């Protein structure tokens, strides 16, 4: 979600173009309280929603502004089920991609191709439902194709989280895995004016279409300083290997000024409430993997406090996201695309909110280049 | 480029989320002086560059920070020529799009598919050259396919502007058309922190790749409040039809509170210097079409001043862009994609500038939704 170095507060470093502290939009979707360590979705504390709601309930909350009753939830699920198609042209495009293509690039292209054929006009909730439902379908199809397997049809009895795992593996997933993934999808669904959501709103503010906005947001989420780094947490834990090697590995890394992955956040100056939930979910999902992750976390926090006192580096959302997603069987390069399959409901809700009360987002730049250069025609240039 | 209503200054209207007056980046690429009506590219006044330089020279200026000498220009042209391929997979994807797809959506998808297969790692000038060179190729291929024609191979002796027209029509274009289009491509290449360039920089600031940034920018440029409206100027001129009908048509439109297309800009409080250049280019390119456009412009400016005094609505860049692009033979729905084929050098130069001195662009939002709602499990919701 962020770089460790992003945690320095505005007071100690002048604005270097990051728009820190600049309010770019008003929203009724989520509230991030960085100092209190609190995250609110449309009035509800994330701790009340995690593990008690499903992805579809949170999609309803963000799109319609309130939690659904049973009938409304069933209705939304039916509408999502109806939009799980894999059009022939998109399938062909995914087949034609090299197996080495990055899944985020495959997703970006598939959503773009689908939208070019299917979506016209101003953003609507129907379009938000349709684009969201296609994310797991496109991702799983690409993942199977790159492994030499044919894509599968969606399972008519499985919801968003379970069907995603089914489409990847061909197996009806275990209940613990579905619950863990569903909770993950709930926790990552929205987070204030993060870079990909902001990107989606900037594009929407030009009166462009919902797919152009979502495609842009996918590109932003891909960046390692935003959503593109959780697999590096897994890489770090794999490199450490055992609890016994943890302290030596971490001290060595810090001695070489390497960045420890999964700590620090631009906004949170205390523990990220999502990290707290994800830690418990990871503990339940795979106790053995959790034990190593927990030991590394404790050591890393102690060493960071020892070596970078006052920097207030806490465990961020990426750390246990990586542990949890690995425990439900996802390969590292699907971590960020799975993040996208959650955040797409936040993106689309923000797009709808932006167009509902729009103003073109068009900041200024400060020119620092040369002025008044004398133009010389090319024939006379040396 | 903008909506007429965007011209109200910050003093008279509080910030409603448009980031007016907020400096989002420093740049050595272009300077927009809204009050003086001046546009500078890396130190050179746009009036010195228009009609004396080519698209390739301006690409060199923006990418390398100075104008090229003859050898350097030839070298860049050779590098651009080498990147005009139409990969089989991209061609197939364009074939599979419906003929009714919007060209901007086709471009967005083609660039995304090409990048997914071809581009890895941090943004480089080589990548900027490669992505730029493909824009006319992808656009012309889609345009021919939707008209039932096969795409053509690039013409080895034609530069960027001429080859684009050749790829569309199969004819080596007339010299006046090439000169007019080249001047257009020079004039539209960069323009401060406009919405698509800002989008590209936000995506680049996450450390994402150049194609993700460019694809995002295409989506932003598509919006009618940014680059998506010039064909509406042509529609308006076609609806007016003759000089004699102009005043009645315009008075009727204003009486119905319809927006007149091609007037007003968020930044310029005087005539847009590009409009001035484009007016002269349009005059040369097609005197007959120009006569109507000029008469409509004069009447519109007089009527706007009469009916909206003090709003300082001037002819913007879209107005004569539409006249010029129509005069070189482009259909209306290729106006915005052609704008993209110019602005891509600005986008890529800004991306390279952003990653050269990066900080994640991550503003804040103000939460205006409910707080402290009591969570009720779904079984108990009514």
pLDDT in tens, A229-251: 888 999 999 999 999 999 999 99
DSSP B7-35: GS-GGGS---SS-TT-EEEEESSEEEETT
Backbone angles phi, psi at A32, to 5 degrees: -110, 115
Q: Is B94:B106 a contact under the CB 8 Å cutoff?
A: yes
The pLDDT confidence band at residue A10, using thresholds 50, 70 and 90, is very low
Facing residue for A26 by CB, picked from B2, B105, B368: B368
Q: Is A70:B381 a contact under the CB 8 Å cutoff?
A: yes
pLDDT of residue A264: 84
Facing residue for A203 by CB, picked from B21, B199, B266: B199
Per-residue pLDDT tens for A166-211? Answer: 999 999 999 999 999 999 999 999 999 999 999 999 999 999 999 9
Pairing of strands B44-45, B364-367: unpaired
- Chain B residue numbers with beta carbons less than 8 Å from the beta carbon of A370 are 28, 42-43
- Select which of A4, A277, A318, A353 is catalytic: A318
Residue B47 is among the residues annotated as catalytic for this protein = no
Residue A26 to residue B366, Cβ atoms within 8 A? yes
> For residue B318, is pLDDT > 50?
yes
- Chain B residue numbers with beta carbons less than 8 Å from the beta carbon of A209 are 105, 219, 222
Please state, in angstroms and rounded to a whole number, the distance separating the CA atoms of residues B217 and B280.
29
- Chain A residue numbers with beta carbons less than 8 Å from the beta carbon of B28 are 367-370
State how far the alpha carbon of B185 is from the alpha carbons of A244, B57, B58, B274, B348, in Å: 62, 11, 9, 11, 15
> For residue A343, is pLDDT > 50?
yes
Q: Is B211:B111 a contact under the CB 8 Å cutoff?
A: yes
Please state, in angstroms and rounded to a whole number, the distance separating the CA atoms of residues B185 and B196.
16
> For residue A17, is pLDDT > 80?
no
pLDDT of residue A271: 87
> For residue A58, is pLDDT > 70?
yes
pLDDT of residue A31: 97
> For residue B2, is pLDDT > 50?
no
Per-residue pLDDT tens for B141-199? Answer: 999 999 999 999 999 999 999 999 999 999 999 999 999 999 999 999 999 999 999 99
Facing residue for A375 by CB, picked from B48, B120, B361: B48
Per-residue pLDDT tens for A259-315? Answer: 899 998 877 888 899 999 999 999 998 899 999 999 999 999 999 999 888 888 899
Residue B364 is among the residues annotated as catalytic for this protein = no
> For residue B7, is pLDDT > 50?
no
Least confident of A16-20, A214-218, B88-92, B304-308: A16-20
Facing residue for A22 by CB, picked from B203, B205, B363: B363
> For residue A2, is pLDDT > 60?
no
User: How much is the mean pLDDT over chain B?
Assistant: 93
Count of CB contacts below 8 A, A vs B?
A: 394
pLDDT of residue B230: 83
As a whole number, mean pLDDT of residues B365-377 equals: 94
Please state, in angstroms and rounded to a whole number, the distance separating the CA atoms of residues B73 and B345.
15
The pLDDT confidence band at residue B310, using thresholds 50, 70 and 90, is confident
Output the six-digit token pair for B345. Answer: 């050098």
Residue B89 to residue A96, Cβ atoms within 8 A? yes
pLDDT of residue B12: 32
B144 membership: H or E segment, kind and range: helix B125-146
pLDDT of residue A8: 31
> For residue B64, is pLDDT > 50?
yes
Q: Is B332:B224 a contact under the CB 8 Å cutoff?
A: no
Nearest 5°: CA angle at B60, between B272 and B193?
40
- Chain A residue numbers with beta carbons less than 8 Å from the beta carbon of B371 are 31, 40, 43
CA distance, residue A71 to nearest chain B CA (Å)? 9
- How much of chain B exceeds pLDDT 70, in percent? 96
Structure-token match 């016994």, residue found: A244
> For residue B311, is pLDDT > 90?
no
CA distance, residue A291 to nearest chain B CA (Å)? 31
> For residue A20, is pLDDT > 80?
yes
> For residue A4, is pLDDT > 60?
no
- Select which of A265, A297, A350, A353 is catalytic: A265
Q: Is B329:B165 a contact under the CB 8 Å cutoff?
A: yes
State how far the alpha carbon of B280 is from the alpha carbons of A43, A76, A157, A217, B122, in Å: 57, 56, 65, 40, 41
pLDDT of residue A16: 55
As a whole number, mean pLDDT of residues B257-275 equals: 87
User: How much is the mean pLDDT over chain A?
Assistant: 93
The pLDDT confidence band at residue B99, using thresholds 50, 70 and 90, is very high
Least confident of A160-174, A299-313, A314-328, B40-54: A299-313
Torsion of CA B1, B17, B214, B173, to 10 degrees: 0
Nearest 5°: CA angle at B23, between B19 and B29?
120
Per-residue pLDDT tens for B210-231? Answer: 999 999 999 999 999 998 888 8
Please state, in angstroms and rounded to a whole number, the distance separating the CA atoms of residues B4 and A132.
34
Residue B362 to residue A108, Cβ atoms within 8 A? no
As a whole number, mean pLDDT of residues A48-67 equals: 97
Return the residue of A nearest to B27 by Cα.
A367
- How much of chain B exceeds pLDDT 90, in percent? 85
Strand partners, B32: B39
Short-list B188, B118, B117, B110, CA closest to B143: B110
């Amino acid at each position: 979600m962020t770089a460790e170095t992003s945690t320095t507060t505005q007071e100690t470093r002048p604005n270097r173009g990051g728009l820190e502290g600049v309010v770019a939009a008003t929203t009724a979707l989520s509230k991030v309280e960085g100092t209190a360590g609190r995250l609110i979705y449309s009035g509800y504390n994330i701790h009340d929603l995690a593990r008690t709601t499903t992805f579809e309930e949170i999609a309803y909350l963000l799109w319609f502004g309130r939690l659904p009753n049973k009938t409304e939830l069933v209705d939304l699920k039916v509408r999502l089920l109806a939009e799980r198609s894999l059009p022939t042209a998109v399938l062909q495009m995914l087949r034609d991609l090299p197996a080495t293509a990055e899944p985020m690039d495959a997703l970006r292209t598939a959503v773009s191709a689908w939208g070019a054929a299917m979506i016209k006009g101003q953003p609507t909730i129907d379009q938000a439902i349709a684009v969201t439902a296609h994310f797991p379908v496109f991702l799983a199809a690409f993942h199977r194709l790159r492994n030499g397997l044919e894509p599968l049809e969606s399972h008519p009895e499985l919801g968003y989280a379970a069907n995603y795992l089914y489409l990847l593996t061909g197996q009806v997933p275990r209940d613990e895995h579905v619950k863990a993934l569903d909770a993950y999808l709930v926790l990552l669904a929205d987070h204030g004016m993060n870079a990909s959501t902001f990107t989606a709103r900037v594009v929407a503010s030009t009166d462009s279409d919902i797919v152009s906005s979502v495609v842009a947001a996918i590109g932003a989420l891909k960046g390692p300083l935003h959503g593109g780094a959780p697999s590096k947490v897994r890489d770090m834990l794999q490199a450490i290997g055992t609890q016994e090697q943890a302290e030596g590995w971490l001290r060595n890394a810090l001695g070489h000024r390497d960045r420890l992955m999964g700590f620090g956040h631009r906004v949170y100056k205390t523990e990220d409430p999502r990290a707290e939930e994800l830690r418990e979910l990871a503990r339940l999902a795979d106790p053995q993997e959790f034990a190593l992750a927990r030991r590394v976390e404790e050591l890393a926090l102690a060493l960071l406090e020892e070596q970078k006192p006052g920097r207030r580096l806490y465990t961020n959302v990426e750390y246990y996201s990586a542990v949890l997603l690995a425990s439900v069987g996802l390969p590292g390069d699907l971590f960020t695309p799975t993040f996208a399959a959650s955040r797409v409901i936040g993106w689309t809700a923000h797009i709808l909110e932006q167009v509902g009360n729009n103003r073109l987002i068009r900041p200024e730049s400060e020119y620092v280049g040369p002025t008044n250069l004398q133009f010389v025609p090319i024939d006379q240039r040396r």
